[in-house]
A and B are shown apart, each in its own frame.
Chain A
Amino acid sequence: QSVLTQPPSVSGAPGQRVTISCTGSSSNIGAGYDVHWYQQLPGTAPKLLIYGNSNRPSGVPDRFSGSKSGTSASLAISGLQAEDEADYYCQSYDSSLSVVFGGGTKLTVL
């Protein structure tokens, strides 16, 4: 049972827009801690996708965007492409002094 809750799977057709939610509580996201997102392609290490709720590292396409409100955050992917098929994880910090992750969401491009 992960501290942050994500849907197990989402799907969309090429060109469409999908969103992945990440729900926390008053001890993590709701406490004001930032949310970060990672993309994990099959058989590879996670890669930073979004940091500080809505910032993209250099090299990440602007098709990826993040937002945060209250005890939740969202990752949006627009103009879906076949290479976006991957697992996506949200991450934050908890008042128990630990890093916390979501359970991960598998994105399928139809």
Chain B
Amino acid sequence: EVQLVESGGGLIQPGGSLRLSCAASGFTVSSNYMSWVRQAPGKGLEWVSVIYSGGSTYYADSVKGRFTISRDNSKNTLYLQMNSLRAEDTAVYYCARLEYSYATGNYFDYWGQGTLVTVSS
């Protein structure tokens, strides 16, 4: 059974740093495309970042230069290092597996339960 479990969220002051983790089971993180998606309180979904199986990484403009996505193959875990945090980064952060098919496109087939990050003084 596929499972994604996020951790690492919490209350952090503006300008601070936080690292989120996403422990996966039931599949191999390094063989898949993995993403972070966030949802601000009462708002919609916003794609944050993706890491491809080959290691390439991409970011939304809103986090580029501040966030870093990575993975630890030995722990089958995905990470999101968040630096220079701002109030507008406050959100529930979900990790999700990004399925890719030439026939049906890129879509998120499995999601974690999410971890809340609150940036406030």
Contacts and interface: CB of A to CB of B under 8 A. Distances in A.
A and B, one complex?
yes
Interface of A: 2, 33-36, 38, 44-48, 51-53, 55, 57, 89, 91-93, 97-104
Secondary structure call for the B interface: strand
B113 A45 contact: yes
Q: Bin the interface of chain B by size.
A: 20 to 34
Nearest to B100: A93
B58 A97 contact: yes
Interface string B44-56: 1111001000000
Contacts of B121: none
B28 interface: no
B105 A45 contact: no
Contacts of A46: 37, 45, 94, 108, 111
Given A45-B114, A98-B60, A34 B47 contact: no
B77 interface: no
Contacts, number: 66
Given A2-B44, A45-B94, A34 B50 contact: no
B108 A100 contact: no
B107 A51 contact: yes
B81 interface: no
16 contacts: A2-B44, A34-B104, A34-B105, A34-B107, A36-B105, A45-B111, A46-B45, A46-B94, A48-B109, A52-B105, A52-B107, A57-B109, A91-B45, A98-B58, A98-B60, A101-B46
B40 to A, nearest CB: 12
Q: Interface centre among B44, B46, B103, B109, by most A CB within 10 Å?
A: B44
Contacts of B37: 46
Closest 3 CB pairs of A and B: A52-B104, A34-B105, A36-B107
B104 A100 contact: no
Contacts of A47: 111
Contacts of B74: none
A45 B35 CA distance: 14
B106 interface: yes
Interface string B87-120: 0000000100011010111111101111000000
